[in-house]
Amino acid sequence: MERVFVLGGGATKVGEEWEKSLRQLFVEAALKAVGDAGISLRDVEALYVGNMSSGVLQGQEHLGSLMATWLGIPGVAACKVEGACASGGVAVHQAYLAVASGMYDCVLVGGVEKMTDAVVYDLTTALMMADDYEYAASTGASFVGLNALVYRYYMKKFGVRQEDIAMFAVHDHKYAARNPLAQFQFEVTLERVMKSPLIADPIRLFECAPVSDGAAALVLCSERFAARIGASELVEIAASTMATDTLSLSDRADLTTLRATRLAVERAYKMARIEPSDVDVLEVHDAFTILGVIHLEDLGFAKKGEGWRLVVEGEVERDGRIPTNMSGGLKARGHPVGATGVYQVFEIYQQLKGIAPNQVSDAEVGLAQSVGGVGGTVSISILKRVR
């Protein structure tokens, strides 16, 4: 396999973009990535667009050709990639494979979602499609409700207080306050989180990722392409993996672990030839606070039932043992669903380049985890700074 490098990246500010369309958001992020890479759009041989819900929310599919057209590069190989909330991460994985296989030397991968101008019914319907809609939705379940089941079961099984899990939201807001791309650039107290309205018991409003618009993009290239243009200070994708679990929670033996995460990260660590202790900075998919806690465990940074301790004891802070979600996470940076996985890899890329808003000192290895549904699909990207 060929070595794969992130040559450049770009992203829009996450938020409520009433004046920008889906295509405008994607093109903005893509042009930033191409500019950061120092290349021309003519160098792009393939285009991958991560998105979950454009068909439902915008009445628009065929995003590959659409975005190629609006970028002014019709003729390029292009397609939409969908993996629920992990669509962006899955798109990065497909772009990685395209370069690693030797098929292409330079590809553009982006993720985009426009959610805030949708009516609540359509948005709830779209998000519920991340589970088995035919069966789960007929029971009256919502996507928040499914995560609430996981949350309550976790607290009961391990005897954990909700306040300790909810601290993940406080942590995220602390770093989003210093991230110019974040949707919520302010800090919150635990008291404010716990007094926010219940959405699906026990999940409170300030424990949920918001409805968001945004796009992020990356340029990936081969070693020979990087050499040809004289690129330096490279960031390599040392591992890119994916795994799945049964789609619905009702088919799983344990609600407190995501088997897909464990499978994908085990392969990724082996592929990158590292251990969890080698990771300097981490981005996890915390659409709800309970997921952030569970991911810290499944990724190998805490024992099962003790992920919350890393947050409460400050181990996930910028100067802690495993700095986590320096972007502000899905909770506070925002969660434009199909773009989120690309935003996460973009944050790790910035950290390893030394240009992140909440820069971790001497970061050399970073990991990004993107989750579709309640763990039905998981992608893992491990990046390394090349000296």
Instruction: Write out pLDDT tens, residues 62-94.
Output: 999 999 999 999 999 999 999 999 999 999 999
Residue 378, number of CB atoms within 10 A of its CB = 30
Mean pLDDT of the region 155-178: 98
Q: Which residue do the tokens 């789960």 mark?
A: 136
For residue 140, what pLDDT is reported? 85
For residue 85, what pLDDT is reported? 97
Annotation marks residue 335 as catalytic: yes
Q: Say whether pLDDT at 285 is over 90.
A: yes
Helices (H) and strands (E) in the chain, counts: 14, 11
For residue 159, what pLDDT is reported? 98
Q: Are strands 106-114 and 46-50 parallel, antiparallel or unpaired?
A: parallel
Q: Which parts of the chain fold into alpha helices (H)?
A: 22-37, 54-57, 63-71, 87-100, 120-128, 133-136, 143-158, 162-176, 190-195, 223-228, 259-272, 289-298, 307-312, 337-353
Average pLDDT, the chain: 97
Query: Considering 171, 173, 295, 335, which one is annotated as catalytic?
Result: 335
Question: Residue 136's pLDDT band (boundaries 50, 70, 90)?
Answer: confident
For residue 139, what pLDDT is reported? 86
For residue 234, what pLDDT is reported? 96
Q: Say whether pLDDT at 387 is over 80.
A: no
Mean pLDDT of the region 110-131: 93
For residue 109, what pLDDT is reported? 99
For residue 138, what pLDDT is reported? 82
In percent, how much of the chain has pLDDT > 70? Answer: 100
Q: Say whether pLDDT at 10 is over 90.
A: yes
For residue 361, what pLDDT is reported? 98
Q: Say whether pLDDT at 224 is over 90.
A: yes
Annotation marks residue 106 as catalytic: no
Q: Say whether pLDDT at 141 is over 90.
A: no
Mean pLDDT of the region 4-20: 98
32 Cβ contact partners less than 8 Å away, ≥ 6 residues apart: 9, 10, 11, 217
For residue 52 the two structure tokens come to 């979950």
| Amino acid at position 122, single letter | D
Mean pLDDT of the region 357-369: 98
For residue 377 the two structure tokens come to 């699909």
Q: Is the pTM of this model over 0.85?
A: yes
Q: Which residues are 106's β-sheet partners? A: 221
Query: Considering 85, 106, 208, 221, which one is annotated as catalytic?
Result: 85
Q: Say whether pLDDT at 135 is over 90.
A: no
For residue 137, what pLDDT is reported? 81
DSSP letters for 125-190:
HHHHTTS-HHHHGGGT--HHHHHHHHHHHHHHHHT--HHHHHHHHHHHHHHHTT-TT-S--S---H
Mean pLDDT of the region 120-133: 91
* Structural domains of the chain, with CATH: 4-118+211-235 (3.40.47.10), 141-209+238-385 (3.40.47.10)
Centroid of chain to Cα 355: 19
For residue 8, what pLDDT is reported? 98
